[in-house]
Chains A and B, each alone.
Chain A
Amino acid sequence: MSAHLSLELKKMLRDKGLVFWTLLLPIFFIVIFASIFGNQSNTTSLSLHVVVTEPTTLTAPFIEQLEYIDSIDLEQIETTNSATELLESGEISTLLEMNGEQLTLHYDDSQQDTAGALYGIVDNVSQHLHLQASQQNVSNYVDDEATTEEWFAAPFQLEAVSINEQSVDAITHIVPGYAVMFTFFICISMVSSFLKDLRQGMVSRLATSPKHPLHYLLGKWLAFIVVVMLQIVILLGFGWLVYDVQIGNLIAIFTLSLFLSMTATAIGLLISVAVRSENSGIAITQVLALGGAIVSGLWMPIEFMPSFVQQASVFFPQYWAHQAFLDVMASSGTILSILPSLLILLVFTTVCLAIALFLYPRFLRDAA
């Protein structure tokens, strides 16, 4: 078996196509998609320009309060142009004009949603200042701060909680997503390697040797597991180095990568002994790798998918692997918390391997 393992690894080391498919292409995808979705979190803040035409005593505290709010990107400007001119120039899309006690929110028609949100916030701040002033006046009047505090206590407490309990940022989703997706492309390399051996007569030549034919099958499998492991390590390492993606528990990640490698290559093994043309191998792999990527939420969080897709995803090993990666990388999951995913990957591996072994004698017969 070790003979086949070292031979395959030597061959793959010289296979430039393999390096392209397993490393360069996924890295290219990660970089592209990271640059598209990567800074999404910044764009969610609302930008607001403020122009003060006539200040009052409350103007400064008002602006201060607004600047406090995280989701507002406030910029105070001084200008003699009218609000309409400013908006029409296209440089700004929302403008708050503070003319004494009169506040006017000018907005570009295309920014209705933003304007709505800004209106609410500005209104809120103004109410808040109003309430503060009233509380102060009452407190002075009754000369009892504690009671006044009680009177003015808010009837509701509002707290914002995001639906995603683990608010995964886009990069943390993209890196393991593409790592998982591209592991399955190893099937193409496996099919072409096995079919080449079959066609060149290597399989029948080996059949005349004293080694049991399982050495060939398992030795090659092992070599591809090693390659996919390396692939995952390099892709995650790239995410960690370049995008600061958290890796999480190393033992959990290592075990998960190993199980994923075994699953992807067991599927590759099954396709390799089942098909007799490289084209059908490529076609099956494409469907499996691309279809699985979409359905399993490797490209887009699974929550955004229609519910029937979400239900179908459980039949794809990609889904389990990706969820487990997210669990470890984004919510500090451990090997225990991903145990169900590991078991399911193991089931996929075992089933594919069993069918591959069942078909193997037919593959050997066709070698002659």
Chain B
Amino acid sequence: MITIDQVSKSYGKKQVLHNVSLTIPEGSCFGLVGPNGAGKSTLLKLITMILSADRGEIMIAGESTQRNSVKIKRQLGYVPQEICLEETLTVEDNLKFFSQIYNVPSAIHKERINHVLKTIQLEDRRKTIVKQLSGGMQRRLNIGCTLLHDPMLLIMDEPTVGVDPNSRNEIYNVVKTLIKSNKTVIYSSHYMEEIEKLCDLVCFLNHGEVIDMDSPQTIKQNNTTKAVEVSLQTNDLKHFQHLGEPKETKNGYVFSTDDPLRLIQQLTTTMKEQSLDVTHLQMVTPSLEDIYLQKTGQSLSEEGQS
């Protein structure tokens, strides 16, 4: 179990994490979600002891990270957000190096490397120079390099960032097999659909603060705010001003409400009055991403900050 208690962290004058408290049960897959600059990487670097907290304490399996414990590190696998490999060397050279770094007995190097190559689906790329791999393959090798010592705690910082959807699916499959193997996984991303599919717990992080933390189902149940989607022309929006500010979608506009039936009634009344032609009217339940937006007023995919 990992407990994070009242942790704060600043870079110089800029405070990046504010009193973060979390509990991550053993064997769970914990999703950390937030837009760029939310403080995900910083929090993961505190857990992996790359950084130390200004205030608060992090305990992993009963040991404080402040002691920089080697015992914890033996069970820890950290996949950095950046692809961090020796790019002039082969796939195998990289795996060999990390086997040595993680004190894997040399008698079983070969066996472990083969096993990892299979897991990350790069068996046929053993002798390829890393530079010549595609971005998605490099990402998988980036994960593979932390699997050699078979860690119980796996921390992955945006392992799918910056790759095409196809490669993303392949990485995603790798992660799924890892989750099944009973490890505790901490997975950060700004793609909510990944988190929703993979994780049994999700934590919303925004501007260094925990906004919400629970299982995806519970979060959805607790945020039952419903909405109605309707296909409307932009010119006709003016007739619906009394129903609140709608959000544009690819099918039209979405109006939020606590009482969707009443809203539908109001919508149809206005349509009849104005004799508007509407092809599509639908009640929608919010996705986790919508809930995040509602809670923070910020979209996950907002680009800009790192």
Report which A residues bind B (CB closer than 8 A).
2-3, 7, 10-11, 14-15, 200-202, 204-211, 367-368
Residues from 32 to 88 in B contacting A, C-beta threshold 8 Å: 45, 48-51, 70, 73-74, 76, 78, 80-82, 84, 86, 88
Q: When the two chains form their complex, are residues B86 and A208 in contact, meaning their CB atoms are under 8 A apart?
A: no
Q: Is the CB of B88 within 8 A of A200?
A: no
Contact present for B50 and A208 (CB under 8 Å): yes
Say how far A357's CB is from chain B's closest CB, in angstroms: 18
Which of B49, B82, B102 is close to A207, meaning CB atoms less than 8 Å apart? B49
B243 at the interface (CB under 8 A from A): no
Q: Collect the chain A residues with CB atoms within 8 Å of residue B73's CB.
A: 208-210
Say whether B103 contacts A210, CB under 8 Å.
yes
Write out the residue numbers on chain B whose beta carbons fall within 8 Å of the beta carbon of A210. 70, 73-74, 102-103
**A201 in contact with B89 (CB, 8 Å):** no
7 shortest interchain CB distances as A-B pairs: A3-B100, A208-B78, A210-B73, A201-B84, A208-B48, A201-B82, A204-B50
Q: Does B240 contact A (CB under 8 A)?
A: no
Q: Which of B51, B74, B76, B88 contacts A11 (CB 8 A)?
A: B88
**Distance A3 CA – B76 CA, assembled complex (angstroms):** 19
Q: What chain A residues lie within 8 Å of B45 (beta carbons)?
A: 204, 368
C-alpha spacing A14/B48, complex, angstroms: 32
Q: Can you spell out 10 A-B residue pairs with CB atoms less than 8 angstroms apart?
A: A3-B101, A11-B86, A11-B88, A14-B88, A15-B88, A201-B80, A205-B78, A205-B80, A208-B49, A209-B73
Tell me what chain A mostly uses at the interface: helix, strand, loop, or mixed: helix
Q: How far does the alpha carbon of A211 sit from the alpha carbon of B49 in the complex, in Å?
A: 13
Q: Are B86 and A7 in contact (CB under 8 A)?
A: yes
> Are B89 and A14 closer than 8 Å at their CB atoms?
yes
A7 to B99, CA, bound (A): 12
Residues of A within 8 A of B74 (CB): 210
User: How far is B242's CA from A69's CA once the two chains are assembled, in angstroms?
Assistant: 120
Q: Which residue from B76, B82, B93 sits with its C-beta under 8 Å from A7?
A: B93
Nearest CB in chain A to that of B155: its residue: A208
B51 lies within 8 A of A368 (CB): yes
Interface of B is mostly: loop
Is the Cβ of A367 less than 8 Å from the Cβ of B88? no
Residue on A nearest B84 in the bound complex, by CB: A201
CA distance A15 to B49 in the complex (A): 33
Give every chain A residue within 8 A of B84 (Cβ-Cβ).
200-202, 205
**Best-surrounded residue of A201, A211, A368 (most CB of chain B within 10 A):** A368
User: How far apart are the CA atoms of A15 and B48 in the complex, in Å?
Assistant: 32
Q: Are B86 and A204 in contact (CB under 8 A)?
A: no
Report chain B residues within 8 Å CB of A367. 50
B42 to chain A, nearest CB (A): 9
**Residues from chain B with Cβ under 8 Å of A211 in the complex:** 101, 103
Cα–Cα, bound, A201→B50 (Å): 11
B49 surroundings in chain A (CB, below 8 A): 207-208
Expressed in whole angstroms, the Cα–Cα distance for A209 and B97 within the complex equals: 12
Within 8 A of A (CB), among B74-130: 74, 76, 78, 80-82, 84, 86, 88-89, 93, 97, 100-103
Q: Which of A10, A200, A206, A209 has the most CB of B within 10 A?
A: A209
Measured between alpha carbons, how far is A206 from B103 in the docked complex, in Å?
A: 12
- From residue A138, how far is it (CB to closest CB) to chain B in Å? 88
Per the bound structure, the CA–CA distance linking A199 and B70 in Å amounts to 24
Identify which of A10, A15, A200, A209 contacts B101 (C-beta below 8 A). A209
Residue on A with the closest CB to B47? Answer: A208
How far is it, in angstroms, between the C-alpha of A206 and the C-alpha of B48 when the chains are bound? 11
Cα A14 to Cα B50 in complex, Å, equals 30
Which residue, B51, B86, B97, has most C-beta atoms of chain A within 10 A?
Answer: B86
Contact A11 B89 (CB under 8 A): yes
Report which residue of B49, B76, B78, B100 has the largest number of chain A beta carbons within 10 angstroms of its beta carbon. Answer: B100
CB distance from B177 to the nearest CB of A (A): 22
The chain A residue sitting closest to B89, CB to CB, is A10
Please indicate the chain A residues that have their CB under 8 angstroms from the CB of B80 in the complex.
201, 204-205
CB neighbours of B50 from chain A (8 A) = 204, 207-208, 367-368
Q: How far does the Cβ of B159 sit from chain A's closest Cβ, in whole Å?
A: 14
Whether A200 pairs with B89 at a CB distance below 8 angstroms is no
In whole angstroms, how far apart are the Cα atoms of A10 and B93 in the complex? Answer: 9
Specify which chain B residues have a CB less than 8 angstroms from the CB of A10 in the assembled complex.
Answer: 89, 93
Q: Which residues of B contact A3 (CB under 8 A)?
A: 97, 100-101
In the bound complex, residues from chain B placing their C-beta under 8 Å from that of A206 are: 101
**A201 to B97 alpha-carbon distance, docked (Å):** 16
A202, A207, A367 — most chain B CB neighbours (10 Å): A207
**Bound-state Cα–Cα, A250 to B190, Å:** 63
Q: Which residues of A contact B100 (CB under 8 A)?
A: 2-3
Q: Is the CB of A200 within 8 A of B82?
A: yes
Complexed CA–CA distance, A50 and B125 (Å): 80
Contacts of A11 in B (CB 8 A): 86, 88-89
Which single residue of chain B is at the shortest CB-CB distance from A216?
Answer: B101
Distance of A7 Cα from B101 Cα, bound (Å): 11
Known A-B contacts A11-B86, A200-B84; the reply to A208 vs B97 at CB < 8 A is no
A7 near B97: Cβ-Cβ < 8 Å: yes
* Minimum CB–CB distance for A111 against chain B, Å: 60
Chain A residues in 8 Å Cβ range of B86: 7, 11
Q: What's the minimum C-beta distance from A85 to chain B, rounded to whole angstroms?
A: 69
Closest Cβ–Cβ distance, residue A15 to chain B (whole Å): 7
Residue of A nearest to B81 (CB): A201
Contact with A along B274-305 (1 / 0, CB 8 A): 00000000000000000000000000000000
Least CB distance from A347 to B in Å reads 33
Task: Check B82–A208 contact: CB distance below 8 A.
Answer: no
Which residue of chain B has its CB nearest to the CB of A215?
Answer: B101
Q: Which residues of B contact A201 (CB under 8 A)?
A: 80-82, 84
Q: Complex: how many Å from CA A368 to CA B51?
A: 7
| CA A202 to CA B73, docked complex, whole Å | 16
CB distance from B27 to the nearest CB of A (A): 21
Q: Which residue of B lies closest to A202 (CB)?
A: B84
Give residues of chain B (142-193) contacting chain A, Cβ–Cβ below 8 Å.
none
**Cβ B93 vs Cβ A209 within 8 A:** no
